[in-house]
Amino acid sequence: MRIGLVGAGAVGQSVGALLVESGWCRELLVASGSEVSACGLVTDLEDLTQITGSPVRVTVAAPQAMGACDALVLSPRARFANTARADVRMAGLAANAPVIAALAREFTGYTGVAVMVTNPVDICARLFAERSGCTRVLGIGSATDTARYRLTLARLLRVPVGAVRGHVIGEHGDAAVICASTTTVHGDPAAVPVQRVRDELAARPRRISDGIGRTRSGPAGAVLAALVHALGLVDGVTELSVRQEEGVYLGVPVQYTAGTPSLCPPPLDPSETAQLNAATEKLHHVYAQLNEEI
């Protein structure tokens, strides 16, 4: 497998290390905002290959040289100061959307899998898909939200995390939908303290950023999960932001069998349905406005 990685920042670095140690990736091509940052990551990953005996060949490459890659990981971030206190991920729209639109032009007609990381991820995934024509664009975010949900609920209810089943879907952002009505613990319906969970879901990324600058390992794990499922290396369910009927990209559990996806949205109660409708409306509105502007 040959993977193209665009964006050698915090997430890109963690994804790179996971790919070098994946056991299935054979070639990794790296591009970034500058030759210096791409070269820095490649050099660091080369060191890793030597120390661990990884067979992965890591090179600097322009995005134009990645057209034959089996998959792309898109994690660029334009420089801007994010001072937002609410809808933090959406605050990246003005800076990042032109970068994603430019990349979409570079990858017009791309037929592989494109994993979008850049925030606001649901908007960026749609923008890349519609502008490039790529039909296999997957945004990551809901898998991390779901992992955080299960960890949080397990702690609040004092049960093992493996006993918790449940999803977070919709926007990777303030309009995320906690699917409390279908959440189970040890197979039984769970009493979910939704507001406490929501507070912790907002607090976790802040805690990570305050402590280590940027979130990286969780999202990198979500990227790997997206890749192994979409490339047909593993069967199972992972949450991904994918195209819905209205064209909006939203997070939903996706079952992959030999690389073939089928969406499996959980049943929702009326309140969750209303939240998902609100998320759809929000993302539709933001995208329509963006589409006129760039």
Ligand X SMILES: NC(=O)c1ccc[n+]([C@@H]2O[C@H](COP(=O)([O-])OP(=O)(O)OC[C@H]3O[C@@H](n4cnc5c(N)ncnc54)[C@H](O)[C@@H]3O)[C@@H](O)[C@H]2O)c1
- Name the burial class of residue 1, with classes exposed (0-12), middle (13-18) and buried (19+) by CB atoms within 10 angstroms of its CB: middle
Q: Which of 25, 73, 104, 121 binds ligand X (CB under 6 A)?
A: 121
Q: Which of 167, 172, 186, 284 is catalytic?
A: 172
Q: Are strands 188-189 and 184-185 parallel, antiparallel or unpaired?
A: antiparallel
Task: Kindly state the smallest distance separating residue 137's Cβ from ligand X, in Å.
Answer: 13
User: Nearest to residue 114, comparing CAs of 67, 71, 69, 62?
Assistant: 71
Residues contacting 127, CB < 8 A, separation 6+: 97, 100, 101, 104, 287, 290
Q: Is 266 in the site for ligand X (CB under 6 A)?
A: no
Which of the stretches 7-15, 50-58, 125-133, 149-157 binds ligand X when contact is defined by CB under 6 A? 7-15
- The answer on whether 59 is annotated among ligand-binding residues is no
Which residue among 3, 4, 5, 12 contacts ligand X (CB under 6 A)? Answer: 12
Q: Which of 47, 48, 46, 36 is nearest to 9 (CA)?
A: 36
From 77, 126, 150, 167, residue interacting with ligand X (rule: CB under 6 A): 77
Residue nearest to ligand X (CB): 9
Q: Which stretch binds ligand X (CB under 6 A): 49-57, 139-147, 266-274, 276-284?
A: 139-147
Contact between 173 and ligand X by CB under 6 A: the answer reads no
Q: Is 141 annotated as a binding residue?
A: no
d(CA 145, CA 149): 6
**135: Cβ contacts below 8 Å, ≥ 6 apart:** 129
Alpha helices in 158-231 (DSSP H): 194-212, 217-230
Token representation of residue 117: 């990381």
- The structure tokens 């993302």 sit at 283
Q: Which is nearer to ligand X, 4 or 76 (CB)?
A: 76
Residue 122 C-beta: closest distance to ligand X, Å: 9
By the rule CB under 6 A, 96 interacts with ligand X: yes
| 9 is an annotated ligand-binding site residue | yes
Is 8 annotated in a binding site? The answer is yes
Active site residue 172: yes
Q: Which residues are registered as beta bridge partners of 241?
A: 139, 251
Query: Which range touches ligand X (CB under 6 A), out of 28-36, 153-161, 178-186, 272-280?
Result: 28-36
> Within 10 Å of residue 30's Cβ, how many Cβ atoms?
26
Q: Provide CB contacts within 8 A for 57, sequence distance 6+.
A: 26, 27, 28
Interaction between residue 3 and ligand X (CB under 6 A): no
The secondary element (H helix, E strand) that includes residue 142 is: helix 142-157
Per the annotation, where are the binding residues? Answer: 7-12, 79, 85, 96, 117-119, 148
Residues in contact with ligand X by the rule CB under 6 A: 6-12, 31-34, 37, 75-78, 92, 96, 99, 117-119, 121, 140-141, 144, 172, 214-215, 219
Per the annotation, where are the binding residues for NAD(+)? Answer: 7-12, 96, 117-119
Catalytic residues: 172
